[in-house]
Amino acid sequence: MKPERWPGAVDVSIVASVGVAMGLMLLTYRTTAVINRAPDVRVTWAVAAFALAAGARRPWWPWAHWVWAAVAAGTLGEVWLILIAPDPIPLAQTLQYVAESLAPFLVIVILGSSWNLLAAGLRKGIARPLALVAAVNVLNLADALLTRFAVESGGAQELNPFVRALGLPFKLVAVGALSLLLYKRRPAALVWPIAALLWVLCYHVSGIAVNH
């Protein structure tokens, strides 16, 4: 096999993507800890390390990633034990418990390994910066709507003083203007607001999951 450096040629899209992937894995761990109980730290590190090292390469992705998560979490062994030595607890209940304990690792391994897909997307975007401007504004709109939803339902407080004073349209216009400014001056820098807004959107999803 021809040796290859990880993560390849380091550019802005790679750094942003790996950062987002790590942030999302951390967010998944934290969300699971709040909803249920913290996943096993040893397994989390092993699964996250594999996700970052392997990336999302075909033909392995995503089946090998899920197999690894299930093996590291001990799920395959547990399922086998259930099959050969049935428990007094009903099977459906046991399987539900097994699925609940495995789910965070499956999510972590998929989010963590998707960094090279995101990097490829961002690289394409840098070649066509108007697409990046559109992405920033769509993500910002989604963030604004989800924030409003959270504030109206009483689950969050608007801490941005400009938005509190001038309202939501100000935020949309300001981000639109600033993204156009970046597009004119340094289009490659648009990947940073995209990375940040992606993480923020996932944070909203995490908040919705916690509140439900």
Partner 1 sequence: MAGAVFVLLQGLLAAYSLHVLRDAVDRRLDQGGLDACLSHCWFQAVPEAILIYAGFALAGVVVAAAGHRILLALPACMYVLFGVPHGANVLMAIGRQWQVPCYQRCPGVWFGYPLVGAVTDLTLVLIPAVVVA
Contacts of 148 (CB under 8 A, 6+ apart): 168
Structure tokens at 128: 């066509």
Structure tokens at 9: 């040629």
Structure tokens at 208: 């919705």
Ranges of H-type helices in the chain: 12-35, 41-54, 63-72, 75-84, 91-113, 115-127, 129-152, 161-166, 168-185, 191-211
Residue 15 CB, nearest distance to partner 1 (Å)? Answer: 18
Residues 1-20 that bind partner 1 (CB under 8 A): 1-4, 6
Residue 19 CB, nearest distance to partner 1 (Å)? Answer: 18
Choose which of 37, 57, 124, 164 interacts with partner 1 (CB under 8 A).
57
Contacts of 75 (CB under 8 A, 6+ apart): 98, 101, 102
Residue 37 CB, nearest distance to partner 1 (Å)? Answer: 19
Binding mask 67-106 for partner 1 (x = CB under 8 A): xx-xxx---xx--xx--xx---------------------
- Tell me how far CA of residue 105 lies from CA of 29, 31, 43, 72, 139, in angstroms: 9, 12, 8, 9, 26
Stretch touching partner 1 by CB under 8 A, among 10-18, 59-67, 142-150, 167-175: 59-67
Residue 23 CB, nearest distance to partner 1 (Å)? Answer: 19
Instruction: Determine, following the binding rule CB under 8 A, whether residue 50 of this chain makes contact with partner 1.
Output: yes
List residues binding partner 1 (CB under 8 A): 1-4, 6, 41-43, 45-47, 49-50, 53-55, 57, 60, 64, 67-68, 70-72, 76-77, 80-81, 84-85
